[in-house]
Amino acid sequence: MKPEVMAAAENFITNETEFHLGFLPTEQSNPLTRSMEADFRRSTVEGVATLQKPDRDVLSMVRRVLVSEPFARMAATGFSTVRGGGRIIFSGCGATGRLSILLESMWREYFSASDRPELADCAASIMTGGDYALVKSVEAFEDYQNFGRRQAADLHIGPGDMLVAITEGGETSSVIGTVKESAERGAAVFLLFNNPAGLLREKLVRCREVIDDPRVTVLDLFCGPMALAGSTRMQATTSEQLVAGVLLESVAAKLEGRSLPDFVTQFEQLLDRLESAEVRSMIAQYIDFEADVYASGGRITYLANDYLLDIFTDTTERSPTFMLPPFRRRDDTASPMPWAFVKNPLYPTRETWRNMLHREVRCLAWRPEDYRAMGAPEKLVNHPPAIDAESLYGFEVGCEPAPERFASPKSGAVIVEVAGSPGNLVLESVAKKYHVIGQFRISSGVPDSALHLMNHMALKLALNTVSTGTMVKLGRVTGNWMSHVSISNKKLIDRAIRLVSELSGRSYEESCRALFDAADEIDSADWTGREKPSPVQYTLRKLGII
């Protein structure tokens, strides 16, 4: 091992203990799904049933949280904030950042078309890395509190506003930065997370600082380990979407003098529907369809207009979760083509973004001096990432031609529809250009609400099951661990080390050194036009485990 690589490994072992997160339930293996890989090998339907089991823990959680005093305080503060002309601002990183954008969009969509369109601006979001991170992860940004502080400051959050910070593990530094900045600026602050508050407070200083802050109201949404170990885009984000969505639905209803449906009962009915033999079979058939396309070297393009943001969220998150090629810009011909892409054939890219977000894009154009002032490492100061609005528009997600997506006879298009949304002949016409055509249609099975919360929940749960099940079928999951995982931030480095340790039987320290050595070998090779291998799988091969 190179001396500098050994030094980096020893530094992570000794000095980055705040990112050694194996003690968190959200980072642990769920006993309900440990047989997931074997179950999918026997039967896709059986695998789907196993993958769905932990969703019932979300139901138990929401029954507790929605009748709690902290939730009542959050709902009351939300109403008084909007009535007073302030904003409900959501902040998050990765999956919770994309959720924050979705929540803002749900609110804006409803009020933009209402008789009080001025209320649309009473919701906003902070995504670590800006809106650009909706389509492609911005590496390492989550590790810096000052980045979150800067984004909160750029949004001019202040007295009269309300921050709802969302972090699945409860420890994401950039999100904690938004909490501190917002509290100091006089905003009402609420913090949602999915690990026991006492455990976070005991183990992590950065968590203790905000949990003990009297200006912060904490909502502990603990609902157990994830169906896929460490993949907090699963039950953690489901619980946060449900609780934060009920917050927005309740504020909107109170503003308009309407009564609310029983969202707990509706969510239970939704789970019953998704677990029915009919829907499980439909999801299993679609998993087999998508897995077959990828296994034959084909690619999938999702075509949609309604609920496009939900589809973006799931497809983007597949990249870091399973180390798939991320979305690529139109001028990038060197990077591998993404396995899944999203297109709206009805509008050009810029209009697609405007219609999807119901506002202009909110991206970052920080300069080297900005990064230096925030205490960023020299690599960011010297090479700031291109994550501004023009860079985002480089991903052609609108009606622009994309012949590379259907040039291969093995590639296909999938029309995604949520029951209640009108069909679209344009989508069907565009789909005919592809060689393989699929349709994914899902229904919540419950009466709709103003912000369509249960439709969004239904699509999220179904797409999470589809994307995870597909990766299990393609060998990118070991047991119930994602063995193809990137190491683009400190949390993912720790997760990869723990996976190597569990599968190899070696200590955390030995596994860390082996992972850093393997990652250096990968980084030293030329992967132009090829997919990089998983550092975890590469490490396990070097150790003779697989």
The token duo for 10 is 């020893």
CB of 325 closer than 8 Å to CB of 294 = no
Q: Render pLDDT for 333-384 as a digit per residue (tens, 0 to 9).
A: 888 889 999 999 999 999 999 999 999 999 999 999 999 999 999 999 999 9
Instruction: Note the pLDDT of residue 422.
Output: 65
Task: List the beta strands (DSSP E) in 292-411.
Answer: 300-303, 340-343
Distance, CA of 438 to CA of 44 (rounded, Å): 18
Q: What does the CA dihedral 385, 313, 400, 304 come to, rounded to 10 degrees?
A: -170
Instruction: Note the pLDDT of residue 533.
Output: 86
The token duo for 357 is 């977000």
Percent of the chain with pLDDT over 90: 77
The token duo for 175 is 């999100």
Instruction: Note the pLDDT of residue 487.
Output: 87
Helix (H, G, I), strand (E, B) or coil at 313: helix
Distance, CA of 508 to CA of 20 (rounded, Å): 10
Beta-strand pair 412-418/300-303: parallel
CB of 92 closer than 8 Å to CB of 166 = yes
287, containing H or E segment = helix 277-295
Give me Rg for the CA atoms of the chain. Answer: 22
Distance, CA of 516 to CA of 6 (rounded, Å): 8
Q: Render pLDDT for 414-431 as a digit per residue (tens, 0 to 9).
A: 999 887 666 677 888 888
Question: Amino acid letter at 405?
Answer: R
CB of 132 closer than 8 Å to CB of 166 = no
367, containing H or E segment = none
Instruction: Note the pLDDT of residue 436.
Output: 87
DSSP secondary structure, 361-397, as one string: -------HHHHHHTT--HHHHHS----SHHHHHTS--
Nearest to 286 by CA among 418, 442, 428: 442
pLDDT at 255 over 80: yes
478 DSSP assignment = B
Q: Phi first, then psi: what are they for 146, rounded to 5°?
A: -65, -25
Distant-in-sequence, close-in-space partners of 321: CB < 8 Å, separation ≥ 6: 228, 231, 233, 471, 482, 485
* Chain mean position to CA 106: 16
CB of 129 closer than 8 Å to CB of 100 = no
pLDDT at 262 over 80: yes
Q: ∠ at Cα 269 (268, 275), nearest 5°? A: 90
Whole-number average pLDDT of the chain: 93
- Dihedral-angle region of residue 269 (phi above 0 means left; psi in -120 to 50 means alpha; beta otherwise): alpha
Sign of CA dihedral 536, 538, 541, 542: negative
* Chain mean position to CA 200: 21
392, containing H or E segment = helix 389-393
Would you tell me the crossing angle of helices 95-112 and 235-256 to the nearest 10 degrees?
20
Distance, CA of 409 to CA of 429 (rounded, Å): 18
- Terminal C-alpha separation, the chain: 21
- Whether pTM exceeds 0.85: yes
User: Residue 201 half-sphere exposure, CB side, CA atoms within 13 Å?
Assistant: 9
327 DSSP assignment = P
Work out the number of other CB atoms within 10 angstroms of the CB of residue 290. Answer: 25
Q: Render pLDDT for 301-314 as a digit per residue (tens, 0 to 9).
A: 999 999 999 998 99
Q: Render pLDDT for 55-72 as a digit per residue (tens, 0 to 9).
A: 999 999 999 999 999 999
- 532 or 118, greater pLDDT: 118
Q: Which residue has the tokens 């229904």?
A: 443
- 205 or 468, greater pLDDT: 468
Distance, CA of 443 to CA of 458 (rounded, Å): 7
218-245: b (≥16 Cβ within 10 Å) or e: bbbbbbbbbbbbbbbbbbbbbbbbbbbb
Sign of CA dihedral 489, 491, 493, 499: negative
